[in-house]
Amino acid sequence: MKQRNARERESITCLVTEVGKFTDTMTLEDWEYYNDRLRYTLGRLTSLDDEVHKLLDDSEYDADLHKCEEYMESAKCAVLRTLRHRGRHLVTSTTNVTLTDACKTVAMVAPIAPSAMIKLSLIKVKPFSGDIDMGALLRAV
């Protein structure tokens, strides 16, 4: 279990290092990918740390808890950085869209073919009169 924990901590270190190398020219997909990976790995690390901490004695527990907090803090900072950059990327990408671009996009959508439509039968439902027992009749329809 300690080996799995060490592997997750190593993954956190690699992901945090990669996010630290990112620039503003990175694509939105890259930011989202690393954000998802960091969150997933952070969740796994948290659950593994909880399992490992149950097995440690008091002296090892304090040292491992401090180390665990360092990894979690660096991972959370990297997640926050990815969120901030993703937000900036979304803001800059939406400021470049004009109303004419949106109209062209909407006009390019193909209409639904009549053969793809499904006709449903008409059900006549009486207005609710306040009688709760009538609700059972409606469920049968």
Mean pLDDT of 133-138: 61
pLDDT in tens, 16-49: 888 888 777 778 888 888 888 888 988 888 888 8
Residue 130 φ/ψ region, left for φ over 0, alpha for ψ in the -120 to 50 degree band, beta for the rest: left
pLDDT in tens, 80-124: 888 888 777 666 666 655 555 555 555 555 566 666 667 778 877
pLDDT grade for 134, boundaries at 50, 70 and 90:
low
- Check residue 27 and give its pLDDT: 81
Contact assessment for residue 128 and residue 134, using Cβ atoms and an 8 Å cutoff: yes
Look at residue 131 and give its three-state secondary structure: coil
- Check residue 66 and give its pLDDT: 82
| For the chain, the helix, strand and coil percentages under 3-state DSSP, each to the nearest 5 | 75, 0, 25
- Check residue 116 and give its pLDDT: 65
Lowest-confidence region among 1-5, 24-28, 95-99, 127-131? 95-99
- Check residue 109 and give its pLDDT: 54
Higher pLDDT among residues 139 and 18, named by residue: 18
